[in-house]
Amino acid sequence: MNSTYFTSIQTSILNLSTINTEPWFIPLDIINIIFLILVIILGVLFLFIIIIDKTCHTVPVMLVANSCLATLLFTSASLGMTIWSLKNDLEQISYQDSLCIFRGYFAHVTIAAQLHSYLLQAIYRYITVVYPMRLFWQRKQVQSFLIGLSWMCAFIFMLPHVVTSEIQYNADNQLCETPFHLSFVIIYNIIYVYFIPMNGIMSIYFKLILYVK
């Protein structure tokens, strides 16, 4: 037990190093924290209005609320990163805390969920315009299932970043992120998080514009 304890202490000491931070890092961190807190307050207020106002209990608003929730969670993860960066900048140290990898993983999850939430909105709008009589896809239960499925996929499909140790501590930016380099996980991340939803959204709205014309 004692050997394990001393080993953990030695690892922490090795991970901690003194750095010289620029003077403008600290005010920039403070400004970021202020705006992130503002975004969180507005996001919580928006979701609270949707919950208490029965007129907002519709499928379109539910899909928008899903995007808002993804943004709110991503902002919360970013706030944690920025607070830790401010702490390290004030102490002029470079140190990876125990939650750094988790915050990096959670940021990847929320980004994926946010972009796929926009894809769900595009699919719903296309179906309601082009196939208005197909009421099955307009049910709250169906859209709730799709929302839950998109979140589950986001949590599962982002696990390779953690398993392969792609999420690493960046001492320059004082956060844990996936460095951009040529690897299977990076290509996989680009395809799932960006390529699939963005191309799907553009294709759907392009077809929708042609249909309206």
Tell me the per-residue pLDDT of 50-100, one tens digit each, with 9 for 90 and over: 999 988 899 999 999 999 999 999 999 999 888 888 887 777 777 777 788
pLDDT for the residue 25: 73
How far, in Å, CA of 126 to CA of 45, rounded?
Answer: 29
For residue 1, is pLDDT > 50?
no
pLDDT for the residue 17: 53
Low-confidence winner among 20-24, 119-123, 175-179, 192-196 (lowest mean pLDDT): 20-24
Query: Quick one: what percent of the chain has pLDDT higher than 70?
Result: 88
Residue reference for tokens 């553009």: 202
For residue 164, is pLDDT > 70?
yes
Inter-residue long-range contacts of 27-35, CB under 8 Å, 24+ positions, other chains counted: 29/82, 29/85, 29/86, 29/89, 30/86, 32/78, 32/82, 33/79, 33/82, 33/83, 33/86
How far, in Å, CA of 13 to CA of 150, rounded?
Answer: 40
For residue 21, is pLDDT > 80?
no
pLDDT for the residue 14: 41
The CATH number, out of the four listed (2.40.50.140, 3.40.47.10, 3.40.50.300, 1.20.1070.10), of the domain defined by the range 23-212: 1.20.1070.10
pLDDT for the residue 12: 44
pLDDT for the residue 20: 57
pLDDT for the residue 155: 95
* Mean predicted confidence (pLDDT) in 135-164: 91
Angle between helices 100-130 and 59-91 (to 10 degrees): 160
For residue 182, is pLDDT > 70?
yes
Supply the pTM of this predicted model: 0.82
For residue 44, is pLDDT > 90?
yes
